[in-house]
């Protein structure tokens, strides 16, 4: 199985971008989101996984990337919290990147 890297980008105000990088390709999808809708981020991640045919992310993803900024403090904290929670739940490494 070709495991992929999940990237979570919350650096742009008003949107969140997920990407999956495999050996030769990267699939990206961006979602518009307001600060009041931050509770929907996991719903958008589930939609992204379904579109990319990821049924068992804990087995199909080998690493998570999160971007540390620049960006809005709240957006970055929400993205970091989600990435850390997924990393702990799936027992896969998390790496923080500068954009």
**What are the tens digits of pLDDT across the range 2-54?**
899 999 999 998 899 999 999 889 999 999 988 788 889 999 999 999 999 99
Domain at 4-97, CATH homologous superfamily: ATPase, nucleotide binding domain (3.30.420.40)
Task: Give how far the C-alpha of residue 53 lies from the chain's centroid of Cα atoms, to the nearest Å.
Answer: 15
Helix (H) or strand (E) holding 60: helix 57-60
Q: How confident is the model at residue 86 (pLDDT cuts 50, 70, 90)?
A: very high
Is residue 1's pLDDT more than 80? no
pTM: 0.91
Q: What are phi and psi of 42, to 5 degrees?
A: -65, -30
| pLDDT, average across residues 64-76 | 89
């Amino acid at each position: 199985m070709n495991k992929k890297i999940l990237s979570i980008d919350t650096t742009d105000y008003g949107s969140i971008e997920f990407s999956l990088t495999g050996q030769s390709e990267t699939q990206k999808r961006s979602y518009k989101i307001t600060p009041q809708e931050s509770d929907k981020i996991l719903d958008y991640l589930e939609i992204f996984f379904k579109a990319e045919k990821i049924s068992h992310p804990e087995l199909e993803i080998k690493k998570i990337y999160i971007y540390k900024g620049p960006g809005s403090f709240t957006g970055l904290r929400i993205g970091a919290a989600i990435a850390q929670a997924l990393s702990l739940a799936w027992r896969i490494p998390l790496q923080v990147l500068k954009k």
